Amino acid sequence: MANEHEKENAAQAAMEYVEDGMTIGLGTGSTAKYFVEMLADEVADGLLVRCIETSEQTRALATSLGVPLVPFEQVDRIHLTVDGADEVDSNGYLIKGGGAALLREKIIASASDHMVVIADPSKQVERLGAFPLPVEVTPFGYTITAKKVYDVLCAAGIDRPRVELRKQAGSLDLLVTDGGNHILDCHCGRIPDAEALAARLSNVPGVVEHGLFINIARTVIIGNENGATVFEF
């Protein structure tokens, strides 16, 4: 189990990458929340930055703390994005999307000069797959898309995968993402080749995006009780 102090230390270490005048992508999730709060403190002390949120949840948090936001359409460069992860392996490959914000997260991270991932030690894995892989799909034809995703998982060498439509918390209604789509949670257990699976999923009609972030993170910061360990890729 992660503790909050480890998350805070990871977020604090990420603040070292922030510079005056930057445009910064703000991640979503419990660890990214600490970074937004710390950034807000610096903004209150005079730091000049512009930020882009990866979710409506993060937009609400940043707005409440006085962090300046700018529409994505008005930005020609994102210097830095700081976000969390559900899993990270030794290659810096990630599974993201537990918070259902993977589409916006990947768009912003991919457009950034530098993506920094902040996480606690529980997110480090030898091989991706224990955390269910989120796949965002269009509402139209989602049952057919789910079957095709299942077939792709099997073809990628995943033994007896399970594909489930994510529901809203405490409800039988299907979750709807900020982009108006649904999420398939793919229980893989172990993903033999994350790069190959990412490519296969991207070719399935109806798949909007998947939660495998391959060669996107440049820095991974793992918080611990006494500080943080930084990995560069």
CA distance 26 to 18: 12
How many alpha carbons lie under 13 Å from residue 71 in its C-beta half-sphere?
Answer: 2
Active site residue 164: no
Whole-number Å distance between alpha carbons of 99 and 129 = 17
CA 176 to each of CA 86, 185, 204: distance values in angstroms, whole numbers, following the listed order: 20, 13, 20
Quick one: three-class SS letters along 42-108?
HHHCCCCCEEEECCHHHHHHHHHHCCCECCHHHCCCECEEEECCCEECCCCCEECCCCCCHHHHHHH
In angstroms and rounded to an integer, the radius of gyration of the C-alpha atoms of the chain is 17
Q: Could you say which of 105, 126, 136, 195 is catalytic? A: 105
Which sign, positive or negative, has the C-alpha torsion 174, 179, 180, 185? negative
Q: Which residues are catalytic?
A: 105
